[in-house]
């Protein structure tokens, strides 16, 4: 009978600790604040909050909430909050610094191949 209580208390303890860990960082200001199981910080409008504020200014300074859902097509992304399957976090070459967003992974591979094999005056950046 003592073993039965020990098992029940152990399970309750594990569930309580896991629940605490998952809820501990639910409020965030950017995805860096979130956990591995819920890596994406999103505001009330479901926009990803990243460390790219210098590229995408935030008018609303309210906190976000950590979510497990990764970015969809054209969502902002970063090294903490990536993209769902079939998409890749990428900043296109444009002559200016652009924020990283989720783009079709095949297109990203083509772009990376193009720019990694581009040398000299034959490779011009797209106009600003």
With a cut of 90, say whether residue 2 has pLDDT above it.
no
Q: Is 127 domain-assigned?
A: no
13 within domain boundaries: yes
Report if residue 108 sits inside a domain.
yes
Whether 78 maps to a domain, the answer reads yes
In a domain, 125, yes or no: no
The structural domain count of the chain equals 1
Radius of gyration of the chain (CA): 21
The pLDDT tens digits for 33-82 are: 999 899 999 988 888 888 776 666 666 667 899 999 999 999 999 999 99
Dist. CA 66–CA 69, nearest whole Å: 9
Inside any domain, residue 128: no
Residue 126's closest CA among 104, 98, 100?
98
Structural domain includes residue 30:
yes
Q: Look-up: residue for tokens 């965030």?
A: 28
Residue 22 lies inside a defined structural domain of this protein: yes
| Domain that includes residue 47, residue range | 2-120
d(CA 83, CA 103): 8
Q: How far is CA 119 from CA 24, 66, 114, 128, in A?
A: 49, 42, 10, 20
């Amino acid at each position: 009978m003592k073993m039965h209580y020990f098992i029940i208390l152990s399970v309750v303890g594990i569930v309580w600790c896991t629940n605490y860990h998952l809820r501990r960082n639910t409020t965030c200001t950017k995805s860096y604040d979130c956990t591995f199981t819920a890596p994406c910080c999103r505001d009330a409008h479901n926009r990803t909050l990243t460390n790219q504020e210098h590229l995408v200014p935030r008018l609303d300074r309210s906190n976000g909430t950590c979510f497990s859902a990764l970015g969809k097509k054209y969502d902002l992304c970063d090294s903490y909050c990536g993209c769902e399957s079939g998409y890749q976090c990428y900043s296109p070459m444009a002559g200016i610094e652009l924020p990283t967003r989720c783009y079709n992974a095949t297109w990203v591979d083509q772009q990376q191949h193009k720019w990694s094999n581009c040398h000299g005056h034959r490779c011009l950046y797209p106009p600003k």
